[in-house]
Structures are given as structure tokens and as C-alpha cells.
Structure 1
Amino acid sequence: MKNTDTPHLQRSLGFTSAISIVIGTLIGSGIFFKQGSVLENAGSSSMAIFAWIFGGLITLTGGLTVAEIGAQMPETGGLYAYIENIYGRLLGFLSGWMQIIVYGPAIIASVAGFMSILMVNFFGLGPEWKIPLAVITVIGIGALNLLENRVGAAFSVITTIGKMIPIIAIIVFGIGWGHYDALGQTMTTLTHNHGGFGVAVLATLFGYDGWILIASLGGELKNPQKLLPQAIVGGILIVIAIYTLITIAVLKFMPANQITALGDQAVAHLATSAFGPLGGKLLSAGIIISMMGTINGKIITFPRVVYAMAKRQDIPFAKTLTYLTPKGKSPVLATGFIILLATIMMFLFDTDRLSDLCVFTVYIFYLLAFFGVFILRKRNPNQARPFSTPLYPWVPIISILGGIFVIISEIQNDPAGVLLFVGTVVVGLPILYLVKRYYQGK
């Protein structure tokens, strides 16, 4: 007999919450802070615009491919659950371990790090305040998510609406009042960091990353077979259009060499130049809110992966990490675990490097998921598919080629960082062995 008293996550999230989480998670720091990096590596304004579009298409093909899997496996855990169901416990564990030890904390730390740059400027503080402000913000948003899941989802809706104000302002002013040609500007100076088009695309993928996180809430969506693919595909398409327009707006307002010279301050400079000191501050406040929404989306989702792994007794302290608050049914201790790791990473890693490495690491497992569509269709040819990837098999093939492109580009760009992050993932294997021996011996 089923024990109805066992704590469980609530299926209370609808389409508005789902697509707001996707858009809110995607539109964060990447589009505002990666303009200089993308442009410098691409080498020209035309190639920079193409890099943002190309990165979006890679993301879209990946979203269309994973949406087919997600509609068949509407479970809490997302990528972790998909990889386990397709490839077995070992690879499933590694994908979950990667998300909770490397990718999740790293991406929260990197977004918070970028956000704190704006916060320091906004409040007129010294650079020594960047990490403390980032930590305080992450803890505050984490505390919000210890309430009922609808509270965090509502915050995603509010911040998604709020972030559209600075986005629309930048697009309208840049395109309407800019005096430069967005196409055809060539870089006259390139630094030693110039890595080529592949690294430029890799930088855009940090801006697009997060689309799969809604899958981690599969156990909390009202109708996951229908809502999951709608939220993933619809959200990605909207974000591609927004990112392309913002890039064009920035390039029309400032020459290419000035954008690369300003680096992560390019969009902030546009805001101040366009709207004056007060208007620039208001616009910066909107961007800060945007990033808070991104952090919120990630803090909503990654503790669910911790929760799903702990339920399977795949990680230490499983009983503790599966604890849900009596009223809100929120994974409070799993949330605290993710926040703790993110805080540690803020002190240990450079924000920009961290963003590239976390994208590389997750794409290793994205590739496994992309191949998984072919495996599932062969394994279960007659199984009903609530959502089928359009233009099969070409869309999954493109997503696979895109994933390979990302991995090779980052290996060439930062082999030492790649080795560190891959090593951290592999360390999970002996930990899994010890944990299983412990639980079997009880």
C-alpha cells in the first residue's frame, strides 16, 4: 500500500511559471557581460552577431532533442534522471554528481559574481565588496526558496517581467539612436585572449545555458508531458530573438574596439551614456534584478537534483538531504548544500573562467542525452511520445555536432581548467562506491 504520509514535492507549477523559469534562468548575466568577450574572440561585429545566433541554434536543437526525452520521463531530477534511465546507474550518478558538485554551484557563483560587479558600481562601493555582496544575495534568494515552491516560481515570474524593462530600453535606444553599423565592424586590435569563433560561441552558450533546468522540476509541473517541451522550446526561441537584438543594439551604439576595451562594463556604459547617471542606475538596477531572477531559477532547480540523488541513496547524508519542510515541502538542506558550494567557488575561481568551464562540463552530459534520443527510439520503437523532436534525425545530429564543437573549443582554450573540472567529476566514482557500501552494511 502506498504511504500517503511520505513527504513529496507538490505538482503546482503551470505554464506561466514554467516558461518564466526558462526565460528567467537564461536571461541573466551572459548577454550583459559577455558582449566584449564574444566580440573580441569573433574578430568582427558580423561574426559576433552570428556567434550569438549560432549559439542559440545549438541550444535550440539541444532543447528540441531533450524535450522528447523529458516528455517521456517527467521526473524530478531532470538530466540526472534521463541519463540514469538511458545508460544505467553509473553514468546517471556521474551526471547528477556533476550537477551538484561542479556545474550547479559554479554557474550560481559565476552569475552572482557578474551581478556583484554591477552592485558595487550601483552602491558606489570598493571592489572588496564584490564577493560579500554576491554571497549575501545568493543566501537571501536561497532563503526565499525555503518557502513553498510557488513562492520561488512567483519570484521568477516577477523578475522575468522586471528584466524586460532594461532589455527593451537597451534594444530601443541602441537600435533607434545608435550611429554605427552593427555589421562589418572589424577589430583593429586583438589581445592574447583572442580564441577564435569557437571560443566566441562558447561564451554565448553561458548566456543560453540553463534551459534544461526546468526539467529538474518535472515532478512539480502540473502536466509535464505537455508543459515541459512547450516551456523549453518557447523559452529558447524568445531568448534567441532578445539576445540577437541586444547585440545589434550594443554594436550600433558603440564601436567594436570600445566594446572590447570596456569588457564586462560595455552594457553598463551604454546605459549611463543613453539615459544619464540616474537613468543608468535605474537600468543597472533592472539588470541586477534580471540576474537575481537567474540565480533564483538555478536555486529552485539544483537542490531538486540533490534531493533526487539523496532519495536514491547515491550521495552521503542521504536522509538529511531528503528533508522537506513540513508546510512548503521545500528541500531546505539540499538548498543549503548548493549555496555552500557556490559560496566556496566564489572565493576560489575567476568569474569569467568559471562560466566557461561550467558550460563545458555540462555539455559532456548533454551529449549523452542527445545520443539518448536515438537509443530510446531503438529500444522502445512503439512507445508513445507526448513530444517528438521535429526533423528527426537531423535536429539531434546537429545538437550532437554542436556539443562536440563546444567540448573541443574549451579543451583547446583552457586544458588545465578542463582537467580540473573533469577530475572533480570522476572523483565521484569512489565516493559512490563508499556510499553504497555504507548503506548496504546498515
Structure 2
Amino acid sequence: MDKQDNQLRRTLGFGSAIAIVIGTIIGSGIFFKQASVLASAENSTLAIAAWIFGGIITLAAGLTIAEIGAQMPYTGGLYVYLEKLYGRTLGFLAGWMQVIVYGPAIIAAVAGFTAILVCNFLGISTTWRIPIALLLIILVGLINFFDNQVGAAFSIITTIGKMIPIFAIIIFGLFWGQNDALNQTIGEVHQTGGNFGVAVLATLFAYDGWILIANLGGEMKNPQKVLPKVIILGITAVLLIYALITIGIFRFIPANLINKLGENTTAYLATKAFGQIGGKLLTLGIIISMLGTLNGKIITFPRIVYAMAKRQDLPFSRQLAYLTPKGKSPVVATISIIALAGMMLTCFDPDRLSDLCVFTIYCFYVLAFFGIFKLRKENPVRPFSTPLYPFVPILAIAGGLFVIVSELLNDPAGVVLFIGIVVVGLPVFAWVRRKNKQVIVQELDEN
């Protein structure tokens, strides 16, 4: 096969890219994390503040990565950034973390949350959650076996579709809600160790996914200009939407009831506000919204597998780097991510999984944030410069460290497990490099 024929196509424009950013971020988190954020914050004012603070941390992170990404507009995102900043080993671990831990885990978490809503919509027992979640992952994965424009079109459709339930919740809550959104205190706390830090950590799962568009740098038209714009505009839009949704929910549902409803808060609001039929339609809109998020994850993570396989950085790299002849889709990489997500889904609760996802990715985000200072010294001329430098990168770093420490204190056992899976990447990397050297020596001997 000609080398040029085995390349991803640069077909994604600004519209597709911004739809993927917003569609990937807005999904299960804002609908399912309201109760857990409130339970940790213990009152509605701090809960709203947690959503806003989480958005500010994310925006600072996005502005920092936008400068880095504009200088490295290649397929692979964080994997490429850390390799170019710190060398092959750290770059490999960033990629390994995303394809073995973070990617499958976040896909599993989103699918698990979506399946809960599907069970409510169909009126069936939540014991069907795992089979339904597995089916959703497979169906969305099949969409991404075709040309990348098919997945991008699905993102655009679901992003437009998800605006209907979002604006319905915002408008109904703000104008027909009877409660004061501020200063509501819950009487019963379900969890121990809850605090503002844990509340912010819970919101960051809802904001996460913004960096995944960087994995499509090799398929984007004019990525040096488009990438910073879509990251910044996408995160800003999501921050405003999340703050308004949260205020709308608190206006319509008392804090104590949200605390009791837990993951069923959104389904309750939909039925209470719009009746049985209207509630069903609104719930369906939210399900479509979450499918768009799932699609965004399944579009982007196989591109990391593909980028690593092209570099011969993974076992079975030849197979994982395969692209379909017509659509240039990394189908084997997609299948591998789907399989790992299915394993994660059967082993973990979605809520706990979502927090561990955020912790794992932020360990590597912080390293990337520090990289902006290195690049500033090396490259005085840049396609994009982070505004308010160095304050914005410092805020991003502080926010990242805040996430890491909060999760270490909140779930040390889960942290040790996920770090252990990441560290396993070191002997895998050593084995792959040794094998690649043997292949090179063999080819030289044959010639």
C-alpha cells in the first residue's frame, strides 16, 4: 500500500470541530453529577460555585493546551505533546494511559450513565444497564467504521439535538421554578469526606473531553488556526450552559429532593416539568445528547491508538495501524478501544469510574501545562499565544494539582489501581522497543 494512501484525511472544518468539542463535553456529567456535586458541597450556593470553578479550571487548561497544540497539529494529541516536550518514554506513558485506562474508562462511564436513562425511558429494571451500555458502545462504534465525516456528521446532529433538552431545562427552571437557587442546604449527606474540593472534582468529569479534539489534529483543515478557536469557544460555551442548567435545576427541584433522587434527578425533572409524554421526549433528547458524547469519545481515542501504532509503540502495531481502504477509518484500533471499554464497564461503577478517569488524565495534563514554559523559550514566534501568560498556565497547573490531591485523599485504593495500570506500560514499552530493534537488525542482515 502506498504510504500516502495509509494516511488520515484532513476533512474536518471549524463547524465539525466545534460540534465535536461541545458534543464530546456535554453529555452524562451535567445530567448525572448534580446530586453528587451537591452532596459534597452540602449547599446549593457552593454547588453552583463548584460548577463555575470547574469551568474556570478547564478554560485555563484549554487556553494553555491551545498554545501547545497549535505548535504540534498532529494526530495523537497529548501523546504527541508529551513526547515532543519530554521524550519518548513519557510520551508513550501518556498514550498508554489514554488507550488502556482513560479512554476505555470514560467511554464505559458515559455508556453506563446513558444506559440508566434508557432503562428509565423504557420502564425496565436497571439490571439491564450493563447489557444496554455494551450495546450502545458497539452501535456507536459501528458508526465510526466509516469515513470520519460520518462520525463528524453524527456529532453535529446530536449536538444540535442536545440543545433542545438543555434549553428546555434552563428556560423552564429559570422562569417556572419556585425555589431560590442559592443558599439551599441539604439535611442528609450520603457520603463521608465530602467537601468543596470533591465537588469540583465531580464537575470536572462533566467538563472533560475538551482535549480530545487535539487527537484529530491530523484530520483537521488548517489546525494551527482552527484548534485554538474550537477549544476556547467550546469550553466557554459549555461553562455558561452548565452554570445555567445547574441554576435552573435548583430553581425547580429543592436541594434535599435532588440529594435523595441522586442519578434520577434529570428523569424526575423531565417528567415533573413536562408531564409523562413531554418527560419521555425530553429524556429521549438527553439520551441523544449522551450518545453524541459517546460518539465523540469513540471518534477520538482510536486516533491515539493509530498514532502510537504508526510509531510502532504498541504490541500488534501493524494491525492497529490498519485503515479501511475507502473511508480511512482505524477500525482495528476502534475495536480494541470498544473491547477495553466493555471490560471496564463490567468491573466498575460509572460514578467511581468517572472520578478515576479525571484523576488519571490530570496527572498528565499537569506535565503538559508545565511544557508551555519550555516552548515559550524555544519558540518566540507562535501561531497562538495563551492570553494573560503566565497567570493562565499557573492557574491550570494549580487546578490540576488540586484535582490530583483531592482524588488521592478521596479514593486512595482506586488511585493506586489506576496508577498501577499506567506503570505496567513501562515494561511493555521496553519490550516493544527491544522487539523493534530486533526487527531492524534482522532486516539489515537480510539486505
Q: TM-score range by the shorter chain?
A: over 0.9
Q: Which amino acid aligns with 1:91?
A: L
The whole-number CA distance in structure 2 between the counterparts of 1:5 and 1:401 is 43
Task: Please tell me whether the aligned partners of residues 31 and 243 of structure 1 are also in contact (alpha carbons under 8 angstroms).
Answer: yes
The whole-number CA distance in structure 2 between the counterparts of 1:318 and 1:141 is 24
Describe how 1:135-174 pairs up with structure 2 within 5 A.
Answer: 135-174=134-173
- Matched with 2:249 is 250
The whole-number CA distance in structure 1 between the counterparts of 2:14 and 2:412 is 41
User: Is 1:51–2:50 an aligned residue pair?
Assistant: yes
- Matched with 2:430 is 433
Which whole-Å deviations, capped at 9, do the CAs of 1:340-371 have from their partners, x for residues lacking one? Answer: 00001110001100000000000000001100
Q: Which amino acid aligns with 1:148?
A: D
- Matched with 1:9 is 8
Q: Which moved more, 1:180-189 or 1:42-51?
A: 180-189
Q: Which amino acid aligns with 2:407?
A: E
Secondary structure at the aligned position of 1:391 is classed as: coil
Deviation for aligned residue 1:261:
0.6
The whole-number CA distance in structure 2 between the counterparts of 1:120 and 1:401 is 40
Equivalent of residue 424 in structure 1, options 421, 424, 428: 421
TM-score of the two chains, using structure 1 as the length reference: 0.98
The whole-number CA distance in structure 2 between the counterparts of 1:204 and 1:127 is 24
- Matched with 1:348 is 347
Which whole-Å deviations, capped at 9, do the CAs of 1:126-166 have from their partners, x for residues lacking one? Answer: 22211111111111111100100000000000000000000
Number of residue pairs matched? 439
Deviation for aligned residue 1:314:
0.8
Q: Which amino acid aligns with 1:368?
A: L
The whole-number CA distance in structure 1 between the counterparts of 2:398 and 2:281 is 41
- Matched with 1:64 is 63
Q: Which amino acid aligns with 2:401?
A: I
- Matched with 1:128 is 127
Deviation for aligned residue 1:234:
0.2
The whole-number CA distance in structure 2 between the counterparts of 1:185 and 1:127 is 30
- Matched with 2:385 is 388
The whole-number CA distance in structure 2 between the counterparts of 1:192 and 1:41 is 8
Q: Which amino acid aligns with 1:393?
A: P
The whole-number CA distance in structure 2 between the counterparts of 1:83 and 1:125 is 45
The percentage of counterpart residues that share the same residue type is 65
- Matched with 1:217 is 216
- Matched with 1:323 is 322
The whole-number CA distance in structure 2 between the counterparts of 1:441 and 1:132 is 43
The whole-number CA distance in structure 2 between the counterparts of 1:15 and 1:153 is 11
Q: Which moved more, 1:217-226 or 1:125-134?
A: 125-134
Secondary structure at the aligned position of 2:6 is classed as: coil
Task: Please tell me whether the aligned partners of residues 54 and 200 of structure 2 are also in contact (alpha carbons under 8 angstroms).
Answer: yes
Deviation for aligned residue 1:6:
3.9
Change (3 A) 1:5 1:248: closer
User: Is 1:199–2:198 an aligned residue pair?
Assistant: yes
Deviation for aligned residue 1:3:
5.6
- Matched with 2:88 is 89
Secondary structure at the aligned position of 2:73 is classed as: coil
TM-score of the two chains, using structure 2 as the length reference: 0.97
The whole-number CA distance in structure 2 between the counterparts of 1:28 and 1:371 is 29
RMSD: 1.0
The whole-number CA distance in structure 1 between the counterparts of 2:264 and 2:413 is 27
- Matched with 1:367 is 366
The whole-number CA distance in structure 2 between the counterparts of 1:105 and 1:78 is 17
Q: Which amino acid aligns with 1:312?
A: R
Task: Please tell me whether the aligned partners of residues 360 and 407 of structure 1 are also in contact (alpha carbons under 8 angstroms).
Answer: yes
- Matched with 1:412 is 409
Secondary structure at the aligned position of 1:189 is classed as: coil
The whole-number CA distance in structure 1 between the counterparts of 2:270 and 2:358 is 28
The whole-number CA distance in structure 2 between the counterparts of 1:183 and 1:116 is 31
Could you list the runs of 5+ residues in structure 1 that have no partner in the other structure?
Answer: none
Which whole-Å deviations, capped at 9, do the CAs of 1:87-110 have from their partners, x for residues lacking one? Answer: 000000000000000000000000
Secondary structure at the aligned position of 2:388 is classed as: coil
The whole-number CA distance in structure 2 between the counterparts of 1:317 and 1:222 is 30
- Matched with 1:115 is 114
Task: Please tell me whether the aligned partners of residues 40 and 194 of structure 1 are also in contact (alpha carbons under 8 angstroms).
Answer: no
Which whole-Å deviations, capped at 9, do the CAs of 1:364-405 have from their partners, x for residues lacking one? Answer: 000011000001112x143x2111000000000000000000
Secondary structure at the aligned position of 1:250 is classed as: helix
Which whole-Å deviations, capped at 9, do the CAs of 1:37-91 have from their partners, x for residues lacking one? Answer: 0011011100000000000000000000000000000000000000000000000
Q: Which amino acid aligns with 2:145?
A: L
Deviation for aligned residue 1:28:
0.3
The whole-number CA distance in structure 2 between the counterparts of 1:85 and 1:127 is 45
- Matched with 1:189 is 188
Q: Which amino acid aligns with 2:61?
A: G
Task: Please tell me whether the aligned partners of residues 39 and 191 of structure 2 are also in contact (alpha carbons under 8 angstroms).
Answer: no
The whole-number CA distance in structure 2 between the counterparts of 1:178 and 1:74 is 46
- Matched with 2:279 is 280
Q: Which amino acid aligns with 1:421?
A: F
User: Is 1:19–2:45 an aligned residue pair?
Assistant: no
The whole-number CA distance in structure 1 between the counterparts of 2:374 and 2:15 is 32
Q: Which amino acid aligns with 2:162?
A: K
